[in-house]
Amino acid sequence: MKLLDIQHTYSYNWQTITTANWRKYPNELSSHVLSCDVISREVDPSTGILKTERLLKCKQNVPYLIRSLATIPEVSYFREVSYLDPKTQTYTATTINLSLTNLLTIREICTYKPDPSNPNKTLFQQQCMTTAGQSFSAFGKYIEDAAIYKFGSNASRGRAGLELVINKVLEEVRDVEDKLGRGLETLEKDILGLFEEKNEKKL
């Protein structure tokens, strides 16, 4: 088994990060993720925890040696189960591959928490564990190493992709606030105009 542990700090608060995360895929920097579909979503009434299950469809570049050992489909599927706890402000998502499990098992765990020293920042931890299938034990280390290397490359693009989505979300918020501000200003002018019109009629 191979383990990769990545830690990163986002310069955005937890609410912004978790909101943008639902719209993370697909994005231009994570083109290997072809689609992301919600299978189920439910809130535990006793805890307020939101549980979501999603199916990710991905296209991966597999090393030639691995392709020579087995027939590799063009796309692979991954199941993601996440828990968002608004009380503790913790978001955890666990993803595991559904395809090629006889060749390799890939388990990813992502956690987002507010930075205790700065509530305007979010601490991110990403762990990946890869285990080669028993039928490929002779090449197990190579397969696990190749998978970890590829995962690390995709992970960096994934963080950059989330940053892109965050900027889009913030831009949309600013646009809504701007339109709301202009709407309130117009409403205020209309109301003042009505009062002035009534006063003129009284005179």
CA distance 25 to 197: 53
- Whole-structure pTM value: 0.79
- pLDDT tens-digit readout, 144-192: 777 777 777 778 888 888 998 898 888 887 777 777 767 666 766 666 6
Residues 6+ apart with CB under 8 A from 101: 133
Q: 194: pLDDT confidence band, cut at 50, 70 and 90?
A: low
- At residue 156, the pLDDT reads 82
Decide if pLDDT at 202 tops 70.
no
Please state which CATH class domain 2-202 belongs to. alpha beta
- At residue 43, the pLDDT reads 97
- Torsion over CA: 83, 88, 89, 92 (sign): negative
- At residue 50, the pLDDT reads 97
Written as six digits, the tokens of 172 are 């949309």
- At residue 65, the pLDDT reads 59
Decide if pLDDT at 112 tops 90.
yes
Written as six digits, the tokens of 88 are 């503790």
How crowded is the C-beta side of 14, counted as CA atoms within 13 Å? 19
> Percent of the chain beyond pLDDT 70?
78
Contact 32, 60 (CB under 8 A): yes
3-state secondary structure of 58: strand
- At residue 11, the pLDDT reads 94
Domain range list for the chain: 2-202
Q: Angle formed by the axes of helices 140-202 and 14-21, to 10°?
A: 110
Written as six digits, the tokens of 33 are 């993720």
Beta strands in 15-117 (DSSP E): 33-43, 50-59, 75-85, 90-97, 104-115
Q: What is the mean pLDDT of residues 9-16?
A: 94
